[in-house]
Amino acid sequence: MAAGDAFTAAQRHEIDKAIRDAETLSRIEFSVFVGRSEGETRPFAERLHSTLVAPDRSVLVLVDPAARILEIVTGVTAHRVLDDAEAELAALTMQSAFAEGDLVGGITRGVQQLAEHGRRPAVLHE
Amino acid sequence: MDQTGLGILVPVTNRPSNPRVRRAARVLALVPALLVTSATGVAFAEPPATWENTPPVSGLHVVLLLVMVPLALLALITLLVCLPSMSKGETYHPGQPWRGESEWFGGPRTGLEAVDSAVPPALTTSGPTRGGASGRW
């Protein structure tokens, strides 16, 4: 991973922690890409998603601050617990934070919200 | 009863039968309030003779207290609001071009090189699919 100057060490740690917490909460793998997308954003985000270790149970969040575009890709298994409307809600949260210039806060809150929606309620009968 | 069901609305909407009664009732309701408020006399009060006379306040003192103190508070609050983002070293400001390098949290070890060598996902039209959302700001 290229260590760019986009984030300070503390900010990087904050995002890492948000991802770890989200994974613990929801049992979904989270991955956040911040940077310029190559070509069309959505296909690029889906390509990034498919290179993850377990794409089916992963959620990829792509943030392109230069183009001001945000993409959330949910894998097949993750999509079952996290539908598109819930992803849209998290996207709105992130957009409003990004519009205020709070990149790190938007990412951490968005990931947290995705995890809370993707958290499967405890099943008492099966 | 007509078929549209609108006929049922007729007995519900009651028309004012007698406007004179309503007007009289309104006046009657206002009279006690007016009586109570007008019955009281004007209150007069003088400072008790035992109170000591206050010394005259200089204009400079007034300006200092009523202008400088609020201004100082304003400056202090502004500083407190701005301090967190200043100390965090926010590098992203909306409206300015993004200069940072790409960063991938929780991505594969090889980073973006893996994307170039990845096989594009097969497009399936049936069965379970991926989902997600998009947004702009």
Taking an 8 Å cut-off on Cβ atoms, the answer to whether B98 and A66 are in contact is: yes
More confident residue, B54 or A96: A96
Q: Could B103 and A2 be called an inter-chain contact, meaning their C-beta atoms sit closer than 8 Å?
A: yes
What is the reported pLDDT for B124?
47
B70–chain A Cβ distance below 8 A for any pair: no
A110 touches chain B (CB under 8 A): no
Does position A113 have pLDDT exceeding 80, yes or no?
Answer: yes
CA distance B89 to chain A (A): 8
Is some CB atom of chain A closer than 8 A to the CB atom of B86? no
Reduced to 3 DSSP states, what percent helix, strand and coil does chain B have, rounded to the nearest 5? Answer: 45, 5, 50
Q: Tell me what ipTM this predicted complex has.
A: 0.79
pLDDT tens, position by position, B18-64: 788 888 998 999 998 888 888 877 777 787 888 887 788 888 888 88
Specify the pLDDT at position B121: 56
The pLDDT score that the predictor gives to residue B118 is 62
Of A38-47, B32-41, B95-104, where does mean pLDDT reach its minimum?
A: B95-104
Q: What is the mean pLDDT of chain B?
A: 77
Query: Measured between CB atoms, does B84 come within 8 Å of chain A?
Result: no
Query: Which distant-in-sequence residues (6+ apart) come within 8 Å of B78 by Cβ?
Result: none
- What pLDDT does residue B59 have? 86
Distance of alpha carbon A66 from alpha carbon B94, whole angstroms:
9
Amino acid B70: pLDDT: 94
Give the bridge partners for B104, in sequence order. Answer: A33
Query: Collapsing DSSP states into helix, strand and coil, what is residue A80?
Result: helix
Instruction: Tell me the pLDDT of chain A averaged across its residues.
Output: 87
- Strand, coil or helix: what is B51? coil
Q: What's the pTM?
A: 0.61
Give A72's pLDDT tier (boundaries 50, 70, 90).
very high
Whether the CB-CB separation of A36 and B104 falls below 8 Å is answered with no
Contact A24, A53 (CB under 8 A): no
**Overall average pLDDT of the A86-106 stretch:** 91
Nearest of A18, A81, A98 to residue B135 by alpha carbon: A98
What are the φ and ψ backbone dihedral angles of B113, each rounded to 5 degrees?
A: -60, -30
Q: How far apart are CA A70 and CA A91, in angstroms?
A: 7
Q: Report the C-alpha gap between A114 and B5 in whole angstroms.
A: 48
Judged against a pLDDT cut of 60, whether residue B122 lies above it is answered with no
Cβ contacts of A65 on chain B, cutoff 8 Å? 92, 98, 100
pLDDT in tens, A8-23: 888 899 999 999 999 9
- Identify the H or E element spanning B27: helix B19-39
Q: Does B88 touch chain A (CB under 8 A)?
A: yes
A4-18, A60-74, B7-21, B59-73: least confident range: B7-21
